[in-house]
Structure 1
């Protein structure tokens, strides 16, 4: 008892510095024990936010009305059966749109970032691995991230995520890191204009991904480094196949090899034939590695369509030479860049004016022009029996344009762009997620030191992914056709979606901003009849969901079917408000159904009850936190969730990273401090059962 008392006294001295620490104790059955709530306080106002690019408040002016304006009344004559429809796409999945997460920020978007000021911590991992340092898994998965992924999986069946990017090229998998870190950055690559750091990480990152998949149906692409083929680092492939199993979709071997030379990673003479030879070295090493049993899931060449075009790689004989190793063919593309503003000393020239480029994203022509250079490659991929992927994309490289990439206009653009890719026979596309210095993120967690009083920020493009998943449904049989609506007007595009061979949905866009309502348009839909050779097929009524905002320049007041994910710093990943599905009565005698599309807006028209039910989940699994140390912006957890999946794995997680300029220092580990309850247990000489999950504020 003397020893225990001395030990308790030593802890009391520590508590003088950290008096507001609290502990959640998990019993051996996963039940939640009473929590020390002494740290809750309402005596001070929430600190003011100081500002980062992902949270900028720049609002641009919506472009002027086009002159001439498109017609506000037009018709669409459709066939109910896909049998005679010309130009239909290949069959598509509702999970067509997924996410590409920069490897260095994966802990920020999928883990709680623990720090001395992080106050709400959730433990939502399963006990599939014990950490050699602490003897239990210490991964914290962000409930808002799980909620967002759950929204997609409930509609699309699953969500596909790639972890990689520029930082995968310098990534090194190690057995352990000091202080229990899972990931840290070594140094900045000064030869790279984006200042990409070297990443060092442990297998706990991959276990974290596996834990996410256990909670939400998530599949992963993982990046494998190719920066040094003389000293290959294939440990990430070994660990990924072993840990992720069927949740691993593929391994991206090399990221944007056509930019290797420009980034100083290869000689100026580096060519597609050089890449062909280096790819052979890695393929052979994988074939010789018994720890990599799956050898046909490589994703390549992932060119940026900069110095090289995909055909430069195809012309080397790449596909037939490596067909047995390739799981999919991939490219990466951004239609513009904001590099001059992001890196003013890197020689990119004068920065571009976001207001000037804004209008470039607000037409159907944008998506068509982006996709056009890849039409030949998508055909080659089909002929080769390979999926063709847009592996990384977003509005503009180097973080996007403030006021453009985070506007409602970007949501309409990304949705139209995604549908155009699907129509053009891509098999999937991944919207990139960067750090807090990027404006184009579909979702962004709060800065590390603001997690106690701020929640997440949902970018407008997340609504694009949500609407895309409902447009395509979850049967994996959807086929699209661009209807070239309204005289092929670039401001009012439309797509028909056939599912299982029958007409199921219509996707209608209006890129114009006009608060007067004068440029809202009404489309008269007719199914069958006329000279189609099919009987009248217009239903008695249709259902419509709208993606709406007051202006294309709007950043926060965005709704999907009347629901929103919340304003900046106010999202927990769950839709807020009541869902609003409009019912439109049709005139079956005239074989017409009139649907209105506001300016601006997107309308998803469900032509059958089955299509609506498929895209309208009755309930969505949600996740929330149990530790409450603030009274602002906190949520609660269902104890059954922890008890049945992960109630015995609480521990603080450290180690954050970012590829964004100005955020290149390795994060520090948090300090673990016991609560008063722990001291009392020590003084009494009791043994505390279970695992301690601690949050500090």
Structure 2
């Protein structure tokens, strides 16, 4: 973690463990998920011939599944020819921002993932975001989820925390306790943005529409300024009835009217709210009980067009709720081993997202960005062996690129606590933080790949080549639809990159795919550059490589990639033809370097890492550059020091307050105290 004080700034990594989780619903009482449901999972595992499940915290489960056998000989074409045009092809997407792939962090775990207060920030998190900033220039993050709905901003908490949960009041079916938080949480977000270019979505509590609690909007505008880009109005309102949050007849019309009531409440709050927050609203953020069209048919978009910054939905392609809630007879158990093929199928991904095709078209017509505001491999915590395996990394790349090709304008992959399997990154349990580092999950690798595929120009247009009539394949590409994916990326009006995904596992090389790209213009310059996302099998957990670099396995990362970047150069046969091999399994990002494109070595921002210069222990040694600290906001709140960021705006308050951390004698019990000289 990163901490500052007025004379000698220092780094601090305190012990943080919050036993919480989230997917479509927030999951608490983790022993119920990992132990009470063990018999059900064990019987399925025994039938599949897999080991008896691990019973510890799901985020660190090392038990794996079996990779599916490769397709039979002759059923999987390995020699493919692809015809491509330099100009954007038919049905290409709208221009996409470089920050397309972002994250959604459950509000209840921010002091585990982000930091314990405004002056003590998680350095591994800063490093992980800096990696993405280097590739994309910016990251968009939502802080919220089910726990935002009952959250209340208070001036202070008796124990000095920035957030706490009242488990005694967790009476709803999901076991989600109400939250109380202080403005320090928002100052923490602001201070993070002073070091890494992160923009934030927040959520207005929506459990009491007769007395809206607007403090998060009031304080959000004052503290975050232009770093605040969205305010969610209702999280999964289509599930309110099943969660006992609304009467049984609650429907899209009711949500429509409640949305309007919030706008009126914000207008009435003109003494504390500037006009800007009223233009940052987003909704309806529904899951599956309503269709998006049912909401649009209320006149939602036209009625609130001046207030809507984004349209939004949330979607998980499957659920593990029978394991999360074993006493709920209404849940269907999904065997992870049998479910694995769903995540190795481009056809399954395309099918799951097809229901949004009409809505994205409407969003484009209305000029509104359409967000997949919360997503991941499976709701209710994900599947161990899928969500935390290489299959999850390949699926995340395909899911993200498919969303971009369908004219979504962003996708936020959810981050929960230690009780879920799908986290892009997870800090260690608090009682292990003195000797364990972070665990970087497969979805984070997906973010790196998609980020580089999008590039930094904010002009990239994406096309799913398999589903495009304009793309001509020979021999027939149809058999590859389930186990192979191909996307074209046009930048500044020219073909710049191609992304391929081979979902098959075969160490023999017999199912490697050789794709010959035939271009209509002589744009190739002798060779193409290729970066590979690889692991030996789709079932492997940890130690994946992106262009030769890795974040290791569980408890092994400080957020900085390890290893030398390996960019392969492939010689082309002519300026219009080149053949690239995609191993089984792997994703391959091919840089064509045409006019207006960037090559594989170009970045969106200078490389930034937060590393120590002097330490008192020899583990977890990530810290922050002293030059960065010297211009940061990390000083005692009593000093009233304002932001030194050149990006401060009229929407931000005059002072960015941070807490003051005192360590007597340079020792903090139960924590690692890292000093910058």
Asked whether the two chains share a fold, i.e. TM above 0.5, the reply is: yes
CA contact (8 A) 1:587 1:593 kept: yes
The answer to whether residue 477 in structure 2 is matched with residue 487 in structure 1 is yes
CA contact (8 A) 1:550 1:557 kept: no
CA contact (8 A) 1:341 1:351 kept: yes
What secondary structure, in the 3-state scheme, does the structure 2 residue paired with 1:75 have? strand
Report the counterpart of residue 561 of structure 1 in structure 2.
547
Report the counterpart of residue 301 of structure 1 in structure 2.
284
- What is the rounded CA distance, in whole Å, between the counterparts of 1:192 and 1:626 in structure 2? 49
Cα deviation digits, residues 540-580 of structure 1 (max 9, x gap): 11000000000000111200000001221010111110000
- What is the rounded CA distance, in whole Å, between the counterparts of 1:406 and 1:429 in structure 2? 19
- Per-residue deviation, 1:614: 6.6
Report the counterpart of residue 317 of structure 1 in structure 2.
299
- Per-residue deviation, 1:351: 2.9
1:167 pairs, out of 121, 136, 147, with 147
- Per-residue deviation, 1:94: 1.8
Relative to the length of structure 1, the TM-score reads 0.81
Report the counterpart of residue 61 of structure 2 in structure 1.
56
Report the counterpart of residue 513 of structure 1 in structure 2.
505
- What is the rounded CA distance, in whole Å, between the counterparts of 2:445 and 2:248 in structure 1? 41
Cα deviation digits, residues 279-322 of structure 1 (max 9, x gap): 111111112212221111101000112x2111111111111111
Pick 1 or 2: higher relative contact order, CA cutoff 8 A, min separation 6: 1
**Aligned ranges 1:26-41 → 2 under 5 Å:** 28=7, 30=8
1:75 pairs, out of 81, 99, 119, with 81
The answer to whether residue 190 in structure 2 is matched with residue 210 in structure 1 is yes
1:413 pairs, out of 395, 401, 420, with 395
Report the counterpart of residue 274 of structure 1 in structure 2.
254
- What is the rounded CA distance, in whole Å, between the counterparts of 2:96 and 2:430 in structure 1? 38
RMSD: 2.7
Using the TM superposition, name which of 273-282 and 202-211 deviates more: 273-282
What secondary structure, in the 3-state scheme, does the structure 2 residue paired with 1:604 have? strand
Cα deviation digits, residues 129-158 of structure 1 (max 9, x gap): xxxxxxxx7531111101111111111110
Using the TM superposition, name which of 181-190 and 380-389 deviates more: 181-190
**Aligned ranges 1:414-453 → 2 under 5 Å:** 414-453=396-435
Report the counterpart of residue 464 of structure 1 in structure 2.
446
- Extract unaligned runs of 5+ from structure 1: 1-23, 36-48, 113-136, 529-534, 652-669, 679-692
Larger radius of gyration: 1
- Per-residue deviation, 1:190: 4.7
**Aligned ranges 1:92-491 → 2 under 5 Å:** 92-111=96-115, 139-187=119-167, 190-290=170-270, 291-293=272-274, 294=276, 295-305=278-288, 307-349=289-331, 351-484=333-466, 487-488=477-478, 489-490=480-481, 491=483
- Per-residue deviation, 1:645: 2.1
- Extract unaligned runs of 5+ from structure 2: 13-53, 467-472, 639-659
Structure 1 pair 623/676, CA: closer, same or farther in 2 (3 Å)?
Answer: closer
Report the counterpart of residue 32 of structure 2 in structure 1.
none
CA contact (8 A) 1:188 1:195 kept: no
CA contact (8 A) 1:188 1:198 kept: no
CA contact (8 A) 1:470 1:615 kept: no
What secondary structure, in the 3-state scheme, does the structure 2 residue paired with 1:170 have? coil
Structure 1 pair 151/671, CA: closer, same or farther in 2 (3 Å)?
Answer: closer
Report the counterpart of residue 536 of structure 2 in structure 1.
550
Report the counterpart of residue 527 of structure 2 in structure 1.
541
What secondary structure, in the 3-state scheme, does the structure 2 residue paired with 1:645 have? coil
CA contact (8 A) 1:167 1:199 kept: yes
Cα deviation digits, residues 218-242 of structure 1 (max 9, x gap): 0000011111101210100101111
- What is the rounded CA distance, in whole Å, between the counterparts of 1:677 and 1:187 in structure 2? 32
- Per-residue deviation, 1:629: 4.9
Cα deviation digits, residues 481-514 of structure 1 (max 9, x gap): 1111661322121111100000100001100000
The answer to whether residue 664 in structure 2 is matched with residue 674 in structure 1 is yes
CA contact (8 A) 1:194 1:398 kept: no
- What is the rounded CA distance, in whole Å, between the counterparts of 1:250 and 1:634 in structure 2? 35
CA contact (8 A) 1:102 1:164 kept: yes
- Per-residue deviation, 1:695: 4.8
Report the counterpart of residue 655 of structure 1 in structure 2.
none
- Per-residue deviation, 1:427: 0.4
Structure 1 pair 356/151, CA: closer, same or farther in 2 (3 Å)?
Answer: same
The answer to whether residue 608 in structure 2 is matched with residue 603 in structure 1 is no
Structure 1 pair 231/69, CA: closer, same or farther in 2 (3 Å)?
Answer: same
- What is the rounded CA distance, in whole Å, between the counterparts of 1:156 and 1:451 in structure 2? 30
The answer to whether residue 565 in structure 2 is matched with residue 584 in structure 1 is no
- What is the rounded CA distance, in whole Å, between the counterparts of 2:254 and 2:69 in structure 1? 49
How many residues get paired? 594
- What is the rounded CA distance, in whole Å, between the counterparts of 1:414 and 1:189 in structure 2? 36
